[in-house]
Amino acid sequence: MHRGEHRGQNVHSSLKAALFITSAFLVAEFLGAIYTNSLALLADAGHMLTDVAALSLSLFAVRFASRRATPRKTYGFYRVEILAALLNGVFLVLVALYIFYEAYHRVLNPPAVKANWMLVVAIVGLLANMTSAYILFGKHHESLNVRGAFFHVLSDAIGSVGAILASIAILVSGYQIADPSISVLVAVLILWSSWILIRDAVDILLEGTPSHINIVSLREQLGRVAGVESVHDLHVWTL
């Protein structure tokens, strides 16, 4: 087994473990959100649903990208992972927009929230999300696709923290509007992580120059190589 195949199997196993944990908790959190009438929990459950979709998409992309090159696809299928990362970023944006929409209506007419049960469900959700994030952490530097799945899970963990803070605020002060207010902050953080993911994916698809390479300096260094008279039509792109 060569290094690429070994890496693929490790990534595949990590994604499967994270998918199992996330799927197992999704139903419980959704029911908890309905029972407690909490937007913060419902937003977190909705985000967790996109986590399941994102992790499934990432699993498919890893498997598909490992296929051998063909006469028609001579570069192979690696960029399927980049496309998956881009789609994950778009999913995150949609989740954030939905949270904004729901929060707006709940600020105008905040419903009563069962904060004690909301706190319990949020804490369990945070533990599940942090476990999945830990599983993916060691692999998210190896693949933009896995980074997309990692951002999904990490954003969901932030959502759980927001739900915990909102439930504590309601229990201490009875301030029901804390639920949609903190949900908005979570949505802003989700938008930020999605922007980073979309930006990096688009940069790779457009074959942008890697951020750590100075093209002007590279051209000058190549020009100083013995026997090189001039450097023209220089291209450097991200794989």
Q: Which domains does the chain have, with CATH numbers?
A: 3-206 (1.20.1510.10), 209-239 (no CATH)
Quick one: the chain helix, strand, coil %, rounded to 5?
A: 75, 0, 25
Per-residue model confidence (pLDDT) at position 9: 61
Per-residue model confidence (pLDDT) at position 138: 67
Say how far apart CA 166 and CA 133 lie, in whole Å.
Answer: 22
Phi/psi at 205 (nearest 5 deg)?
Answer: -65, -30
Is the confidence at residue 73, as pLDDT, over 80? Answer: no
Per-residue model confidence (pLDDT) at position 4: 47
Per-residue model confidence (pLDDT) at position 2: 43
Per-residue model confidence (pLDDT) at position 82: 80
Say how far apart CA 79 and CA 112 lie, in whole Å.
Answer: 47
192, two tokens: 């930020």
Structure-model confidence comparison of residues 138 and 2, the more confident one? 138
Mean pLDDT, residues 161-175 taken together: 87
Do 96 and 191 form a contact (C-beta atoms < 8 A)? yes
The amino acid at residue 175 is: Y
Mean of per-residue pLDDT scores for the chain? 79
What percentage of the chain reaches a pLDDT higher than 70?
Answer: 90
Q: pLDDT tens across 21-66, in order?
A: 888 888 888 888 888 887 777 777 776 777 787 788 778 777 777 7
Mean pLDDT, residues 83-104 taken together: 84
pTM here is 0.69
Is the confidence at residue 111, as pLDDT, over 80? Answer: no
Mean pLDDT, residues 170-195 taken together: 84
95, two tokens: 């989740």
Distances (CA, A) of 197 to 101, 143, 203: 23, 12, 10
Per-residue model confidence (pLDDT) at position 3: 46
First-to-final CA distance of the chain: 23
Per-residue model confidence (pLDDT) at position 235: 76
99, two tokens: 């949270």
Distance between alpha carbon 45 and the CA centroid of its chain, in Å?
15
Say how far apart CA 27 and CA 56 lie, in whole Å.
Answer: 17
Is the confidence at residue 199, as pLDDT, over 60? Answer: yes
In 38-78, where does DSSP find H-type helix?
39-65
Is the confidence at residue 140, as pLDDT, over 70? Answer: no
The pLDDT-based confidence of 139 (bands split at 50, 70, 90) is: low
Per-residue model confidence (pLDDT) at position 1: 41
